[in-house]
Structure 1
Amino acid sequence: MKSRFNFLRSAAVAVVVAAGVFSGSTAAVAAFRDTEQAAPQFSTASLAAPAAANVTMSCTFGIRATVTVNSFSTVANANYHEIKIFDRSGNLEFTGDLSKAAGKTYTSGYEVIGTWSYEIRGYYKVPGTSNAWTGKVLKGNLTCA
């Protein structure tokens, strides 16, 4: 009796499983295709080097230098311009913001003066962030006049 009961129970389970397989829904197969293209939400800009600059250096007794940016050509797409002045050993002496009067003139402390150099470049500072695109550099040399 027990084996007949096991057989009936196994048969009932098989019937329920088979009914579920045959009466259940089949898997959905779908393919999606879209040919629209959105316009890109970004842009790029190349920041060139300034075309020219008029930077002079005057010295007092050969031991104190004053460097002045008289003029420079602005860079298209740049919203900030900067000068860096290097001493005769290549050490950075000064970094100036060329949009401010104080950034256009630098007077050194007492030191041996030789041929100095400068770099002027434009930047695009991305509003609301600390990111900036850096432009190419205009380099020049300075000697006492």
Structure 2
Amino acid sequence: MGTDRIHGRTITAVMLLLLSCLIAGAPAAHAFFTSAATAKLTAGTHILAAPADNIITATCLPLGNSGKHRLDIIVVSHGTVPKANAYALTITDPSNNKVTRDLTTTVRGYSSNSAASGTWEYAVEAQYQVPDTTNAWSSSSQPLRISC
């Protein structure tokens, strides 16, 4: 009878332990993982040169007595620059307003029948347009001038 009593208490203790594990949840398993990896970051800069050997015609003629002028700036050809994937004509009016024309399209210049009097500046710039973005790097060209 004594052995049955101890055996009964053991079974009761085991049952209580199992029941408390079910209620409280089983203890969480722990694991530890290690891994080593390296990444290489490459960064650099590149300065685009201004295109050389540009052939540009620029004329500015008065339109009667209106005080306005007919301004034509035509890029006949421009030089090429390593790493450049586009070229642009930038025009600055006497009020310092800028207009840019993409020379990679069929538009090869700028024309206006209402150009203001004063000094206009224009330059051909080499550009690197970053693929799939609107970002572009531009060269810094020495502007040419025409007076209207």
TM-score (norm 1): 0.59
Can you give the 5+ residue segments of structure 1 that lack an aligned partner in the other structure?
A: 1-7
2:113 is aligned with 1:109: yes
Contact kept in structure 2, 1:56 and 1:67, CA below 8 Å = yes
Change (3 A) 1:13 1:96: same
**Distance (whole Å) between structure 2 residues aligned to residue 31 and residue 99 of structure 1:** 54
Question: Between Structure 1 and Structure 2, how many residues are aligned?
Answer: 129
CA RMSD of aligned residues (A): 4.0
CA deviations on 1:70-119 (whole Å, 9 max, x unpaired) are 43333322322111212111123x4322134x422322213333211124
Cα separation, 2, equivalents of 1:103 and 1:117: 18
Residues 12 and 107 of structure 1, relative CA distance in 2, 3 Å threshold:
closer
- Deviations 1:13-50 (CA, angstroms, capped at 9, x unpaired): 75447889xxx778434231334x4666x876635142
Contact 2:75 2:108 in 1 (8 A): yes
Aligned residue for 1:140? 143
Percent identity of paired positions between Structure 1 and Structure 2: 22
Aligned ranges 1:1-145 → 2 under 5 Å = 15-16=17-18, 27-35=29-37, 37=38, 46=46, 48-52=48-52, 53-61=54-62, 63-92=69-98, 94-100=99-105, 102-119=106-123, 120-126=125-131, 129-144=132-147
Cα separation, 1, equivalents of 2:95 and 2:104 = 27
Q: 1:27 to 1:56 in 2, by over 3 A?
A: same
The TM-score normalised by the length of structure 2 is 0.58
